[in-house]
Chains A and B, each alone.
Chain A
Amino acid sequence: MTIVVTVLTVAVIVLTVLVAGLLRSHAVILRRLHDLGGDVDMDGAPGADAAPTPPPATDDLDLPQPPTVSEGRVAADLSGVGPRGEARAIRVAGTPHDTILVFLSSGCTTCHRFWDDLRAAGGDDDDPRVVVVSRGADAESRTAIADIAPRELTVVMSSEAWTAYEVPGSPYVVHVDGPSGRVRGEGTGPTWQQVQRMLRQGAGDLDARRAGHRTASADAQREEDVDRVLLAAGIEPGDASLYTRADGTTVTRTT
């Protein structure tokens, strides 16, 4: 009899400790949720038989979306006139290629070095594409630009572009990321080569940051794929099969 009483006493003590521990951890969880703004009523504790929150309806699913590139301001497409009088519209956002916008004037001394360098480069590459932007005919001589601009260079005269890109003066260079339609880097320098080096360095840093974005994006994509497969199989959020283990036991739902 003494042995039984002793065993029961020990069992009661152990159970008391366990219950106290559970209550404590539960209190900690509730406090954390409260701090996070969770929808838990700390004062009016819900009854044990309170109805659980229903699973969201399929139509309300908020599936994860691919993250957008947050860095860089939104780039503006260009429209204006060419130095030979042509009307011109140039896409820089939403294109598969990047675009380097080189804001130049016909008069500034440093700009002349850029014009010479660009003429020597002679390229009309399509990735990255180089586009020279001068002020519009309201603030720049079309004849002067036509004289100085090599024919093989894409040139657009647009004061609106200078305003849109908040160009502080010339020369000034802006690198637009085509696929995201955002400015990737910008700045100025004494020569075209030096500015190119600066842009390449900036682009390299950004690529490294984007590698991290892509990992998160891959996780989100994987989750979205799983959701899609489950929905296609008729398994909606809250479906009992989602809470059943392979051995037939059930998992407590968390809402």
Chain B
Amino acid sequence: MTKAGLVKLAAHGLAVSLPPGWEGTITAEQEALVAAQSLAFAASAAPPETMPVAQFATFALPAVRDDFGGTAVERMGRDDVFISLVEYAAEEASSALFSARGLPRRLDARAFSPHMLQRRIPGHTGLQRFFNHGGRAFCLYLVLGDADDAHRLTRRAEQVLATIVVDDAP
């Protein structure tokens, strides 16, 4: 814990200072897979790249979640926000899909749409942004619990986005 109730999280070249009311994880879901494969193939082949996923939420995140919030967003209330930052392979950073530069810190609430949701839930709205940052490729995915209150919930999400630090690719 740090001052003013901020909780700092850092792993896999990502860091965040979560304001009060937020919790989160930064994980590389393939770590266990990599370990298993390394054992199975006796490290004869290059291990697959681990892809970090950072998830932040204003509600209790279940232990098992999909990268884009499956099994988690079902628990959201109308006042809740879910953020997922999913990394892709570094070579994707120069592709057209990830051509936007830098993590979006400010968001236009009008850009949110239920059509952008990975999992359609009545009342929810979402946003997806692909970008590159420091030679790394990311998708930023957000879900707001109340589409009618998108402006206020967007400001809430921006409080977290403002604190995210992305290290450059090694």
A interface residue numbers (CB < 8 A to B):
76-77, 79, 81-82, 84-91, 94-97, 124, 126, 129, 146, 151-155
Contact, CB under 8 Å: A152 / B64? yes
Count of interface residues, chain B, beta-carbon cutoff 8 Å:
27
How many Å lie between the Cα of A129 and that of B23 in the bound state? 14
Looking at B7-15, B84-92, B101-109, the stretch in contact with chain A turns out to be B7-15
B62 CB contact (under 8 Å) in A82, A84, A87, A154 = A154
Query: Hey, which chain B residues are within 8 Å of A155, CB to CB?
Result: 63
Does residue B27 face the partner (Cβ distance < 8 Å to A)? yes
Contact, CB under 8 Å: A91 / B21? yes
How many Å lie between the Cα of A84 and that of B65 in the bound state? 14
Contact, CB under 8 Å: A89 / B63? no
How many Å lie between the Cα of A26 and that of B16 in the bound state? 67
Does residue B25 face the partner (Cβ distance < 8 Å to A)? yes
Query: Hey, which chain A residues are within 8 Å of B7, CB to CB?
Result: 77, 79, 89
How many Å lie between the Cα of A81 and that of B12 in the bound state? 12
Contact, CB under 8 Å: A151 / B27? no
A75 CB to nearest chain B CB (Å) = 12
Query: Hey, which chain B residues are within 8 Å of A82, CB to CB?
Result: 25, 27
A161 CB to nearest chain B CB (Å) = 11
Does residue B116 face the partner (Cβ distance < 8 Å to A)? no
Contact, CB under 8 Å: A86 / B32? no
Report the 4 A-B pairs with minimum CB-CB distance, sorted nearest first. A86-B27, A87-B11, A89-B7, A87-B26
B44 CB to nearest chain A CB (Å) = 23
Give 5 CB contacts A-B under 8 Å. Answer: A84-B31, A86-B28, A87-B10, A124-B64, A152-B62
Closest to A127 in B: B60
How many Å lie between the Cα of A152 and that of B62 in the bound state? 8
Known contacts A77-B1, A79-B1; is A89 also within 8 Å of B18 by CB? yes
Query: Hey, which chain B residues are within 8 Å of A94, CB to CB?
Result: 20-21
B9 CB contact (under 8 Å) in A88, A95, A124, A152 = A88
B28 CB to nearest chain A CB (Å) = 7
How many Å lie between the Cα of A47 and that of B144 in the bound state? 68
Query: Hey, which chain B residues are within 8 Å of A95, CB to CB?
Result: 60
Contact, CB under 8 Å: A91 / B64? no
Contact, CB under 8 Å: A126 / B62? yes
How many Å lie between the Cα of A90 and that of B10 in the bound state? 14
Known contacts A86-B11, A87-B10; is A126 also within 8 Å of B60 by CB? yes
Contact, CB under 8 Å: A85 / B62? no
Query: Hey, which chain A residues are within 8 Å of B5, CB to CB?
Result: 77
Closest to A178 in B: B60
How many Å lie between the Cα of A129 and that of B72 in the bound state? 14
Query: Hey, which chain B residues are within 8 Å of A152, CB to CB?
Result: 62-64
